[in-house]
């Protein structure tokens, strides 16, 4: 397995989320100006705004050089760990809300070598 940046992984695994207006956002992943930019660009599509702000690229947890290649199985394993940790945190922090935590892969997103964990709320009336 490729070398993992342990300190950064611990930070990501213990991510905190906060209620910001209509949104539940990962602390440290947004600023007021970036939130406003996404609201201006995406309008009232709260799910898309949360998904853009609450995404995390798995390969950024690894110390990689230009020659390194992460295997899909390495990224999937770490992605599942992050997904499970975030689901637990969200359930504990916001028990009255429902969330969709997904792992998107290169094939789904069209980015070769990319894999991300994404969070958004499930809204009944959106």
Q: Global pTM?
A: 0.82
pLDDT of 12: 85
pLDDT of 107: 54
pLDDT of 10: 79
Is 55 within 8 Å of 117 (Cβ atoms)?
yes
pLDDT of 71: 67
- Give the three-state DSSP class for 100: strand
pLDDT of 6: 59
Q: Digits of tens for pLDDT over the chain (126 positions)?
A: 456 555 667 788 889 999 999 999 999 999 999 999 999 999 989 999 999 999 998 877 775 555 555 667 777 888 899 999 999 999 999 999 999 999 987 555 544 457 889 999 998 864
Q: Select from 95, 96, 114, 89 the least CA-distant residue to 104.
A: 114
């Amino acid at each position: 397995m490729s070398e993992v940046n342990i300190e950064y992984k611990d930070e990501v695994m213990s991510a905190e989320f906060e209620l910001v207006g209509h949104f539940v956002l990962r602390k440290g992943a947004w600023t007021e100006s970036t939130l406003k930019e996404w609201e201006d660009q995406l309008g009232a599509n709260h799910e898309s705004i949360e998904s853009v702000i609450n995404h995390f690229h798995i390969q950024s947890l690894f110390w990689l050089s230009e020659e390194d290649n992460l295997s899909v199985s390495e990224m999937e394993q770490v992605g599942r760990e992050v997904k499970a940790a975030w689901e637990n945190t969200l359930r504990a922090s916001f028990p009255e809300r429902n969330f969709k935590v997904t792992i998107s892969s290169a094939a789904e997103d069209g980015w070769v070598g990319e894999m991300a964990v994404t969070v958004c709320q499930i809204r009944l009336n959106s």
